[in-house]
Amino acid sequence: MPEGRAIAVDSLSAAAGAFTRRQQQVAVLIAAGCSNDEVAVELGISAATAKKHADALRHKLGVPRRRQIPRAFLERTGVDLLRAETA
């Protein structure tokens, strides 16, 4: 990743395996309060791609709003994204 920092998702539980590695990285950044533009910079992707990943997360988690992703992720996987490691 040319810009930003790598988001380590190796420490996330096996329950998070229902989500792609990139979705897990996006979820961690969303939990940290990042906008799509900020997610894009951190991961070296476009803002449109970041939005697509966020939309896919919302769909998989069954939540209508982006801000609900961290709580729904915790309820579904047992993983607290606010405590997820970044590298």
Q: What is the pLDDT of residues 2-60, one digit of tens each?
A: 344 545 555 555 566 788 889 999 999 999 999 999 999 999 999 999 999 999 999 99
Number of compact structural domains in the chain = 1
3-state DSSP helix/strand/coil % of the chain, to nearest 5: 60, 0, 40
Residue-level pLDDT at 69? 95
Six-digit token pair at 5? 């920092």
pTM: 0.79
| Structural domain includes residue 77 | yes
| Structural domain includes residue 1 | no
Beta carbons within 8 Å of 28's beta carbon, 6+ residues apart = 7, 9, 81, 84, 86
| Structural domain includes residue 8 | no
| Structural domain includes residue 2 | no
More confident residue, 75 or 17: 75
Q: Which domain holds residue 60?
A: 14-83
| CATH code assigned at 78 | 1.10.10.10
| Structural domain includes residue 65 | yes
Residue 7, Cβ neighbours under 10 Å: how many?
22
